[in-house]
């Protein structure tokens, strides 16, 4: 208690340093183009809070920076930023040092009378801890009011006996939504006239860093501020079934739900939404800047991309998105859309050879979903339907292409054809370890159904197929569907002739993904190959279970899966259908 009091007394005077960002607006030339000059300044050069071996230093790395002839724009100049650091250690054994970074209105400069409306300013904050990688923690965010606006929270953990250094880069710019001009007739509405912009308008912003022992959480921010989306989603409550659950997936064959946060100590964790009603709705912008409704599957980790957010479209792609054929960068033309509404082939050449395989990296659907440009015939690629801001958030992650146990014409099967459970599917999808020795291709011995269904193969991959694929846009795994159901159904078969299975509505109805299967949503292609045929893959059906469909002879709908980067910023929303999460400002 005595140390806390000492900290409070000292920090009242010394813990805060103001970094003033002064933005002077001028007009250059006579052609009506608006230019701006930015000047960053510090008031003082350092600040600190200290109690014995507990301290946090805060200081700017440069005393000023100017950006000449800067115009309003969609993003910032990467070479122009204000940098400041927080250094410290915390030998206290019971409490963390928490700090927050706030924006506040700066001083009015001489000769200027009109403060620019806060909503036209944009901010990006990049954080680097020690020698680690830079991470965008506030991404292209604007605020209606920046008065005491908390934009970021972090901490120096208790028992931090070695000094750590956290470096921040702050970018600020004027959004291109501001309208500047002059109309004698008064028919066009401008935010500012040329004369006001040149002689009166200014922006002045200060950055205020506060540190103490009081915990600063998302709740303390009252959810009114943009925060890192992953940190927002990982606010796990184990009693509220509408929040995420944590899974220990260190052993892919023994996936377990963490009973509490303390019990979740595995080396590899996943966070998923599970159950019939969950708050995982999220808006993503399309190329017309309209909101598309998506659902968050969970948070996962990739060895290169780090943590990422996996989302699936709430409804299937409409027919207007689909192109009949697409010429891929492998030189082949694929038949994608059939004459049926909204239905596509998974992998069908044009013309078909009837030998197309269930290998996702060479599938026509994969080429169309991930192409960066339209094909040479002018057929539109899928990514062009997403806004550029969403496309910039996508990251490439590794996908596992092990085969699951699913079959066709399910009602005619004997009971000796064993379908997977969700947990078995999860293991089989990732059963690719021994494939690496073959250049991550399926070994030659895996060319029969019997070989593929061997539990000891260590490579549930067909001969010649790729064991993994790295990319941005894919489809759901069968296990994504299964693990979206309540935990008591994770060991329930996807289909059985006689046993309780996902074909029973009482089982499927415990899955939030099943709750989205309205209209044509049910009839969707999945990512994983199946073990009974080298040209068939898993497919969701109107009967709730997962079946095997041929890649070139069958048709299905498409619900794309995207991977959002760890730098994605949460702006608003609580994840309910009435108030989806928002990551991009309107």
| 454-458, 503-507, 549-553, range with the lowest pLDDT | 454-458
Q: Is the pLDDT of residue 531 over 90?
A: no
Percent of the chain with pLDDT over 90: 24
Confirm if 378 and 327 have CB atoms less than 8 A apart: no
| Spatial distance between the Cα atoms of 216 and 212, rounded to a whole number of angstroms | 9
pTM of the model: 0.65
Confirm if 71 and 34 have CB atoms less than 8 A apart: yes
pLDDT tens digits along 536-583: 999 887 667 787 888 998 888 899 999 999 888 887 788 889 889 988
| 39-53, 100-114, 435-449, 500-514, range with the lowest pLDDT | 39-53
Q: Which residue has the higher pLDDT, 215 or 461?
A: 461
Per-residue pLDDT band at 422 (split at 50, 70, 90): very high
Closest CA to 334 of 401, 379, 386: 379
Q: Which residue has the higher pLDDT, 109 or 507?
A: 507
Predicted local confidence at residue 43, as pLDDT: 35
Predicted local confidence at residue 487, as pLDDT: 92
Q: What are phi and psi of 465, to 5 degrees?
A: -75, 155
| 16-25, 230-239, 247-256, range with the lowest pLDDT | 16-25
Predicted local confidence at residue 336, as pLDDT: 87
Mean pLDDT, residues 508-519: 77
Predicted local confidence at residue 402, as pLDDT: 92
Structure letter (DSSP) for residue 349: B
- Parallel, antiparallel or unpaired: strands 581-582 and 281-285: parallel
- Three-state secondary structure along 358-394? CCHHHCHHHHHHHCCCCCCCCCCCHHHHECHHHHHHE
Per-residue pLDDT band at 395 (split at 50, 70, 90): very high
How many residues are listed for the chain in this entry?
586
Q: Is the pLDDT of residue 474 over 70?
A: yes
Mean pLDDT, residues 427-437: 79
3-state secondary structure of 487: helix
| 144-153, 260-269, 554-563, 566-575, range with the lowest pLDDT | 260-269
Predicted local confidence at residue 215, as pLDDT: 65
Distances (CA, A) of 10 to 42, 59, 163, 266: 21, 17, 20, 41
Predicted local confidence at residue 532, as pLDDT: 82
pLDDT tens digits along 434-447: 775 544 555 544 55
Taking phi first (over 0 means left), then psi (-120 to 50 degrees means alpha), and beta for anything else, what does residue 403 get?
beta
Angle CA 450–453–457, to nearest 5: 100
- Three-state secondary structure along 11-32? HHHHCCCEEEEEEEEEECCCCC
Predicted local confidence at residue 370, as pLDDT: 96
Q: Is the pLDDT of residue 8 over 50?
A: no
Structure letter (DSSP) for residue 145: -
Predicted local confidence at residue 92, as pLDDT: 74
Closest CA to 164 of 87, 57, 56: 87
Percent of the chain with pLDDT over 70: 74
Per-residue pLDDT band at 491 (split at 50, 70, 90): very high
Mean pLDDT, residues 245-253: 89
Predicted local confidence at residue 227, as pLDDT: 65
pLDDT tens digits along 291-350: 999 999 999 999 999 999 999 999 889 888 998 899 998 889 998 887 667 789 999 998
Closest CA to 430 of 451, 449, 455, 458: 458
User: In 10 A of CB 397, how many CB atoms?
Assistant: 21
Q: Is the pLDDT of residue 413 over 60?
A: no
Per-residue pLDDT band at 448 (split at 50, 70, 90): low
Predicted local confidence at residue 133, as pLDDT: 84
Structure letter (DSSP) for residue 486: -
- Residues 6+ away with beta carbon under 8 Å from 575: 278, 279, 280, 281, 282, 296, 581
Predicted local confidence at residue 394, as pLDDT: 94
Predicted local confidence at residue 293, as pLDDT: 95
Buried b (16+ CB within 10 A) or exposed e, 309-321: bbbbbbbbbeeeb
- Residues 6+ away with beta carbon under 8 Å from 133: none
DSSP3 helix / strand / coil % (the chain, rounded to 5):
15, 35, 50
| Spatial distance between the Cα atoms of 142 and 569, rounded to a whole number of angstroms | 12
């Amino acid at each position: 208690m005595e140390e806390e009091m000492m900290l409070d007394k000292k920090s009242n005077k010394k813990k805060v340093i103001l970094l003033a960002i002064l933005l002077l607006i001028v007009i250059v030339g006579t052609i009506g183009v608006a230019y701006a000059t930015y000047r960053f300044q510090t008031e003082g050069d350092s600040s600190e809070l200290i109690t014995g071996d507990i301290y946090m230093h805060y200081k700017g790395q440069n005393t000023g920076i100017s950006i000449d002839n800067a115009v309003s724009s969609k993003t910032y100049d990467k070479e122009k930023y204000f940098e400041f650091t927080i250094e410290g250690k915390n030998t206290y054994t019971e409490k963390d040092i928490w700090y927050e970074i706030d924006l506040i209105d700066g001083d009015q400069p001489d000769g200027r009378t009109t403060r620019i409306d806060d909503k036209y300013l944009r901010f990006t904050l990049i954080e680097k801890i020690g020698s680690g990688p830079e991470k965008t923690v506030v991404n292209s965010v604007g605020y209606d009011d920046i008065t005491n606006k908390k934009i970021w929270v972090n901490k120096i953990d208790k028992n931090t006996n070695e000094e750590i250094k956290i470096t921040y880069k702050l970018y600020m710019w004027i959004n291109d939504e501001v309208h500047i001009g002059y109309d004698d007739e008064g028919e066009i509405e401008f935010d500012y006239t040329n004369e006001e912009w040149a002689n009166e308008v200014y922006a002045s912003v200060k950055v205020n860093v506060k540190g103490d022992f009081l915990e600063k959480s998302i709740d303390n921010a009252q959810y009114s501020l943009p925060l890192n989306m992953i940190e927002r989603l990982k606010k796990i409550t184990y009693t509220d079934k509408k929040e995420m659950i944590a899974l220990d997936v260190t052993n892919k064959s023994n996936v377990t739900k963490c009973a509490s946060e303390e019990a979740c100590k595995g080396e590899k964790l996943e966070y998923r939404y599970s159950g019939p009603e969950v708050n995982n709705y999220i808006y993503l912008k399309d190329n017309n800047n309209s909101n598309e409704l998506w659902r968050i599957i969970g948070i996962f980790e990739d060895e290169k991309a780090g943590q990422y957010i996996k989302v699936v479209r709430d409804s299937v792609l409409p027919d207007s998105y689909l192109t009949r054929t697409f010429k891929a960068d492998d030189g082949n033309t694929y038949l994608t859309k059939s004459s049926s509404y909204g239905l596509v082939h998974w992998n069908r050449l044009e013309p078909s050879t009837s030998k197309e395989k269930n290998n996702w990296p060479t599938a026509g659907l994969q080429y169309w979903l991930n192409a960066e440009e339209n094909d040479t015939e002018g057929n539109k690629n899928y990514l062009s339907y997403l806004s550029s801001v969403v496309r910039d958030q996508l990251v490439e992650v590794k996908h596992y292409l092990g085969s699951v146990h699913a079959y066709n014409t399910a009602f005619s099967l004997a009971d000796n054809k064993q379908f997977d459970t969700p947990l078995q599917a999860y293991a089989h999808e990732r059963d690719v370890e021994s494939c690496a020795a073959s250049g991550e291709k399926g070994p030659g011995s895996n060319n029969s159904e019997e070989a593929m269904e061997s539990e000891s193969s260590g490579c549930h991959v067909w001969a010649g197929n790729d064991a993994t694929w790295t990319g941005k846009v894919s489809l759901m795994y069968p296990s994504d569907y299964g693990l979206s159901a309540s935990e008591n159904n994770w060991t329930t078969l996807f289909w059985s002739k006689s046993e309780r299975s996902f074909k029973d509505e009482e089982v499927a109805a415990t899955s939030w993904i099943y709750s989205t299967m309205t209209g044509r949503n049910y009839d969707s292609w999945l990512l994983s190959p199946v073990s009974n045929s080298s040209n068939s893959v898993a497919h969701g059906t109107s009967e709730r279970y997962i079946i095997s469909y041929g890649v070139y002879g069958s048709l299905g709908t498409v619900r794309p899966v995207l991977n959002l980067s760890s730098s994605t910023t949460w702006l608003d929303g609580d994840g309910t259908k009435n108030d989806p999460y928002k990551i991009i400002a309107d």
